[in-house]
Amino acid sequence: MSSLDTTMGHSAPSHAEDNYLTHAHGIKSWLLTLDHKRIGVMYLCSTVGALMLGGVFALLLRTKLLTPGPGILDMSHDTYNRMFTLHGAIMVFLFIIPAIPGALGNFVLPIMLGAKDVAFPKLNLASYYLWVFGAVFFVTAMVAGSIDTGWTFYTPYSVTTPANGVIWATMGVFILGFSSIFTGLNFIVTIHKLRAEGMTWFRMPLFLWAIYSTSVIQVLATPVLAITVLLLTVERTLHVGIFDPSLGGDPVLFQHFFWFYSHPAVYIMILPGFGIISEIVGVHSRKHVFGYRFIAFSSLAIALLGFLVWGHHLFTSGQSALASVIFSAITFTIAIPSAIKIFNWLATMYKSSLQLTTPMWYAFGFIVLFVIGGLTGLFLAAMAVDIHLHDTYFVVAHFHYVMVGGTLLALFGGLYHWWPKMFGRMYNEMWGKVGAVLVTIGFNVTFFPQFVMGTRGMPRRYFTYLPEFQAFHIASTLGAYLLGFGIVLAFANLAIGAFRGRKASANPWGGATLEWECSSPPPHDNFAVTPTAHDPYDFAHLSYDEKTDGYVARRS
Amino acid sequence: MSTAAAHNHHGEEGHGHDPHLAHHFDSPQQQFDSGKLGIWLFLIQEVLFFSGLFCAYAVYRANHPEIFEFAHRYLDVTLGAVNTAVLICSSLTAAWSVRAAQLGQRKLMIGCIVVTIACAFGFLGIKYVEYAHKFHDGLLWGEKFNPKYAPGGHGEEAGHSPTADAEGHSGQHATAPGATITQEAAGEAKVTTPRNTSIFFSIYFAMTGLHGLHVIAGIIVYVWLLWRALKGEFGPKQYAAIDFAALYWHLVDLVWIYLFPLLYLIR
């Protein structure tokens, strides 16, 4: 990764002015950097690496599922169990949770605020290295320990399974959790204390509202996961019996603790995506975002309501009926802030000067997938329906629509949106759109058949299946190949653009947020003079300049 | 709010680690405020970290009150009370060290830090004595729970009223055959131990153990502060690290102030 980055640094001197890529040279200047932009780029490379690793496991699983039984890969059921555990755990802990805050959040957040850096740059680098250490530790423990518990580590199985790696894997989760907590803490303090002049709360770009809400969840929910996995470790090593029914403990308590973190964590995964889509829809529609305050507050509402719904994961686990009714009702209310966002994005696009750029294509894809994922969530929130659908492929399809559709498409949209800023070069627009279409279609072909299978009773995590499901599984697998190809194409287009693309102007899209006021790529300290913040979605003063192929401000 | 703070120069140098203002802050006040907000968020995170254990305590206590009423008598209230006093004393000196730093009273500040460290070691020492008794007497978690005597006394001096109480409670479990363990309590009447009493000790060791780890972390922080204080790094313009450490130490103290009644003083 670092060698790749240093070559980028060397390719950039054609830029006249000093920028963060050329500011210092050598591997050490990357590995020990305190610059939020470089840390963001390092997060990007690492989390994309994790995505590729998790994706390989996904494709292996899907290939096996072409046929019932061991299939063409001759995979044993134990290998299958380990592989879906690896796929889920790597994707959740190493990609979806850290990717957008770590990569785009780090890169964009301080610039959007008009700050020189995050509040605690050393802590920021420490978070990154905690992630790296945790990731290596976690993956090694899971592979060496042959863990087959699924990413949820449910007790009592995780306490009784002979796979001893559970202890080490949960310690890996513990370390990754603190990486996430420190990132969230850093962002909250930065947003509170380092806003430039004129940057009131309601002049903050919506991406920052989303990151702020995400950070609140990271700081409040992740410690509960930390104590849970710590207790699980103690349970396994000392047999204290807190989660072990044979010693008087309660395994369902583990599920409560686990989902008290992991349900809010679902919003850690989706909220940054909402933020990115809000930026893309505003800028590429060339129109003031409709219902700014509603979108901003809906992020906070989702963050807070997200803490009150964990019981919907336990409808069938032996929870009191009254608690289930309450959790079901609160779960339904989350649909309200989510729908507020969707309607406001659509209202922003309505009668706007919509630009069909690659980021906008990803925003379309995101909205389609999120509507499908969100509405199927209501099926699962309804208790009677959930009894039928729980632990089927319907659930698998639902959360992939929200988490993958949400995070992955938003990440791509955000990368395509900010890529000219990050590396100072444009990508190929045509191939960008092809990638967006392939990813969106591939995703739907992969997961839509899983909804159908789920309603017809195909259980999740099963090694084999009845013959009537085979047609759906084959469709799903072919979709997965298409999705994988689309993802590789999308990243390849970005990488080629970063090295070979034509130079980008400071403001190629005509965005009004502060990051478009500094040059592309940004200088080491972001701004020569601390800027003054204005309305982030007022595009009236920006006009297109053909000479630079970008927008320039003509503020009177 | 933050912009107002940024322009609010107090002429103070409130830094954490660097003798100079970090490049990305506009003013020392902004830097100090950022650090303060950061440590408060860290403390909130700590509260939620402990909350899992408090939650487990609440669940098991609500479901099995007889276990807690019975087993807490094994704990030594005197040692627990002494430890509470020791920690409160250390919290006082921690707070005092901040004030001494603000007023430039260097010797007082160093003295307060030393007393804080000493109290922390004292706390761990007393905790060690308590743990040693528990290990010696088989008052442990899970299957290791194998008490050598009935609660309320140490060895020979078996308690009187606790024994009676325990028998009273054991009645609730008479319906579950084989669910109770009967013991010979130093020649006195038979004492029945509620089923799964070991859960109390699981929770006791988990909570006090995690708290103990936080005390050890606090000692490390305060030794580091002492080293820096002896080098003369702190003064009226630079006391942020002492301030933040004291906030952490108060939280460690506060957790114990909840643990003591919840574990030792159950009625």
The confidence score (pLDDT) of residue B23 equals 85
Query: How does pLDDT run across A38-57, given as a tens digit for each residue?
Result: 999 999 999 999 999 999 99
Pairs of CB atoms within 8 A across A/B: 125
Sequence-separated (6 or more) residues with CB below 8 Å from residue A273: A100, A210, A366, A406, A407, A409, A410, A411
String of DSSP letters for A182-244: HHHHHHHHHHHH-PPTT--GGGS-HHHHHHHHHHHHHHHHHHHHHHHHHHHHHHHHH---SS-
Q: Is the peptide bond before A521 cis (omega within 30 degrees of 0)?
A: yes
B5 burial class (0-12, 13-18, 19+ CB within 10 angstroms)?
Answer: middle
- CA angle A270-A276-A279, nearest 5°? 145
Phi, psi of A287 (to 5 degrees): -150, 145
HEC-encoded secondary structure of A439-500: HHHHHHHHHHHHHHHHHCCCECCCCCCCHHHHHHHHHHHHHHHHHHHHHHHHHHHHHHHHHH
Sorted by sequence, the CB contacts under 8 Å of residue B266 that are 6+ apart come out as B68, B69, B72
**Average pLDDT of span A283-292:** 95
Q: What confidence tens digit (pLDDT) does each residue in A87-106 have? A: 999 999 999 999 999 999 99
Q: Reduced to 3 states, what is the DSSP secondary structure of residue B267?
A: coil
For B101, residues 6+ apart whose C-beta sits below 8 A from its C-beta are B109, B234, B235, B236, B239, B242, B243
Compute the distance between CA of residue B56 and CA of residue A234 in angstroms, rounded to an integer. Answer: 14
What is the rounded average pLDDT of the residues A369-388?
95
pLDDT of B21? 85
Measured CA to CA, the distance from residue A379 to residue A312 in angstroms comes to 12
List A551's β-bridge partners, or say none: A544
pLDDT number for residue A66: 96
The reply to whether residue A242 touches residue B45, judged by beta carbons under 8 angstroms, is no
Contact A231 B206 (CB under 8 A): yes
Give the domains, in start order, of chain A with CATH numbers.
2-553 (1.20.210.10)
Nearest by CB to residue B2, choosing from A192, A227, A525, is A192
**Contact check, Cβ <8 Å, B199/A247:** yes
pLDDT along chain B (267 residues), means of 10: 38 46 88 96 97 95 93 93 97 97 95 97 96 91 85 50 40 40 48 86 95 97 96 91 97 97 91
* Residue B130 in contact with partner chain A when CB distance is under 8 A: no
In the block, tokens 């500040």 appear at B109
Q: How far apart, in whole angstroms, are the C-alpha atoms of residue B251 and residue A430?
A: 57
Contact of B23 with chain A, judged by CB distance below 8 Å, is answered with yes
Query: pLDDT band at residue A365, thresholds of 50, 70 and 90?
Result: very high
Contacts of residue A433, defined as CB under 8 A and 6 or more positions apart, other chains included, come to A356, A358, A361
Cis preceding-peptide flag for A156 (omega within 30 of 0): yes
Q: By the 8 A CB rule, do B60 and B96 touch?
A: no
What six digits make up the tokens of A243?
A: 């989660």
Distance, CA of B256 to CA of B250 (rounded, Å): 10
B142/A241 touch (CB, cutoff 8 Å), yes or no: yes
Is A277 within 8 Å of A410 (Cβ atoms)?
yes
> Which among A119, A190, A247 has the least Cβ separation from residue B142?
A247
Percent of chain A at pLDDT exceeding 70: 97
Supply the pLDDT for residue B152: 64
* Domains defined along chain B, listed by start: 37-62+81-138+198-267 (1.20.120.80)
- Provide the pairing of β-strand B190-193 with B181-184: antiparallel
In this prediction, residue A248 has a pLDDT band, given cuts at 50, 70 and 90, of confident
| Residue contact B37–A192, C-beta within 8 A | yes
DSSP A105: I
Residues of A in contact with B25 (CB under 8 A): 194
Our measurement of the distance from residue B203's CA atom to the centroid of its chain's CA atoms, rounded to an integer in Å, reads 14
Q: Is B199 on the interface with A (CB under 8 A)?
A: yes
Q: Which candidate in B23, B34, B54, B145 is best for mutational testing of the A interface (most A CBs within 10 A)?
A: B34
pLDDT at A451 over 70: yes
Encode pLDDT of A152-203 as tens digits.
Answer: 999 888 988 887 789 999 999 999 999 999 999 999 999 999 999 899 999 9
- B52 has a chain A CB within 8 A of its CB: yes
State the Cα–Cα distance between residues A487 and A494, nearest whole angstrom.
11
- CB < 8 Å to A221, chain B: 48
Position A556 scores a pLDDT of 52
d(CA A479, CA B142): 50
B61 touches A at CB < 8 Å: no
Q: Is B183 on the interface with A (CB under 8 A)?
A: no
CA atoms within 13 A on the CB side of B253: 21
The whole-angstrom separation of Cα A278 and Cα A296 is 10
Averaged pLDDT for residues A126-131: 97
Minimal C-alpha gap between B171 and chain A (Å): 19
The answer to whether the CB atoms of B48 and A240 lie below 8 A apart is no
B42 in A contact zone (CB under 8 Å) = yes
| Of A351, A150, A338, nearest in space to A258 by CA | A150
Q: pLDDT for A488-540, tens place per residue?
A: 999 999 999 999 999 999 999 999 999 999 998 999 989 888 889 999 999 98
Residue A42 pLDDT = 97
What is the average pLDDT score of chain A? 93
Q: Residue A508's pLDDT is what?
A: 94
Name the residue facing A120 among B23, B38, B141 (closest C-beta): B38
Distance CA A293, CA A286 (A): 18
The answer for residues whose C-beta is within 8 angstroms of residue A238's C-beta and 6 or more apart is B141, B142
Contact B247, B40 (CB under 8 A): yes
Residue A183's contacts (CB-CB under 8 Å, 6 or more residues apart) are A98, A101, A102, A105, A106, A124, A127, A215, A218
Cα(A540)–Cα(A383) distance, rounded to whole angstroms?
A: 49
DSSP 8-state class, residue A501: S
Sign of CA dihedral A229, A140, A408, A109: positive
CA distance A493 to A358: 11
pLDDT band at A142 (very low <50, low <70, confident <90, very high): very high
Shortest distance, CA A274 to any CA of chain B (angstroms): 24
Q: Sort out which chain B residues have CB atoms less than 8 A from A120's CB and list them.
A: 34, 38
The alpha carbon of residue B108 is apart from the nearest alpha carbon of chain A, in Å, by: 31
SS3 content of chain B, % helix, strand, coil (to 5): 70, 5, 30
φ, ψ for residue B261, nearest 5 deg: -65, -35
Pair A261, A222: CB distance under 8 Å: yes
Beta bridge partners of B191: B183
